Amino acid sequence: MCPTKQKHRTKISSTNEEQDHNNYDWREETINGGSLPLVDLNTGSNGWASPPGNLFSLRSKQYLTKKIKAPAGEYLLKPTAVDWLKSSTRLDNVLALSDNRVSQSLKKAHSLKKALKTFIFAVNLQIPGKDQHSAVFYFSTDEPIQPGSLLYRFINGDDQFRNQRFKLVNRIVKGPWILKAAVGNYAACLLGKALTCRYFRGENYLEIDVDIGTSAIASAILHLALGHVRSVTIDMGFVVEGQEDEELPEKLIGAVRICQMEMESATVVKAEDAAAVGRSGCGGGSSKVNNHEEDSCR
């Protein structure tokens, strides 16, 4: 082979690799990966989408005096990925799993000197059953979270504060009447008051694991929904509840629309991988406020 041609091919290969590195977008990779793909907001099925923030009504600046709610507006964080996982054991701290695709993509970006300040906020809804399932929603930001803001205080606060403030707002977009009757078309719930939440704070992430099996009512509603899962489309938004004037108006951390999901599409996580994370004890705490006041879910 001609040495000149070999050198030319090597140079082209090196140039292409450099271009791939320069064009690498870790968030685009995570958005379009996984067993539950990104789909069209209005027509998609067996996937997820990002609903407009204004579909959610949150506490306005005048809420404490006039009980007025207003459209939520833009998210605080960027939608980054959704995972639908299955294992023979409960999946805790999924971002610490060695094969977690979101963590792997971010590590690759770091190796290319990209996304060095990125922070991930993840919510892991743990669904009990013969097989343990997890629906994991990831949001992220490339900018530092404003010190002193409500979100900053939540991320860096203790579990008691988090339990008093972490709120789910949801909308049944499409589904059978029996589910709408059980859940309501629009509902809000302080998850830390109604369920056991475990918080895992990593160097560049906060993961909240919500154990749905710790509430008989939540488990019953969930299993009702799973019985109709292929015909259900639901919007879920996550909020740090504002309880003082200076904490209003409320802002959506992020939201997802789950569109007519298929249970069998879940990615299988080996039990030994999950157990390894559990043994490592990666910065997690758990707590539940045994409080069944009327305002826990509303």
Distance of alpha carbon 195 from alpha carbon 183, whole angstroms: 16
DSSP secondary structure code for residue 146 in this structure: P
pLDDT in 10s for each residue of the chain, 298 residues: 555 555 555 555 555 556 557 799 999 999 999 999 999 999 999 999 999 999 999 999 999 999 999 999 999 999 999 999 999 999 999 999 999 999 999 999 999 999 999 999 999 999 998 899 999 999 999 999 999 999 999 999 999 999 999 999 999 999 988 888 887 777 899 999 999 999 999 999 999 999 999 988 888 888 788 788 899 999 999 999 999 999 999 999 999 999 999 999 999 998 877 767 755 555 555 544 333 333 455 4
pLDDT at position 286: 53
Q: Hey, which bits of 69-195 come out as E strands?
A: 69-71, 78-87, 119-127, 132-141, 166-174, 186-190
What is the b/e burial string over 44-74, where b = at least 16 CB atoms within 10 angstroms of the residue's CB?
bebbbbbbebebbbbbbeebeeeeebbebee
Nearest to residue 106, comparing CAs of 120, 88, 93?
120
pLDDT at position 182: 80
Instruction: Tell me the CA distances in angstroms from 56 to 69, 193, 255, 272, one per residue in order.
Output: 9, 21, 9, 40
Phi-psi region of 150 (alpha: psi -120 to 50; beta: other; left: phi over 0): alpha
Residues listed for the chain = 298
Helix (H, G, I), strand (E, B) or coil at 200: strand
Distance of alpha carbon 207 from alpha carbon 262, whole angstroms: 25
pTM of the model: 0.89
Instruction: Tell me the CA distances in angstroms from 253 to 39, 58, 289, one per residue in order.
Output: 21, 12, 22
pLDDT at position 295: 47
Q: Are 228 and 221 in contact (CB under 8 A)?
A: no
- How do the domains of the chain map onto residue ranges? 27-296
pLDDT at position 8: 54
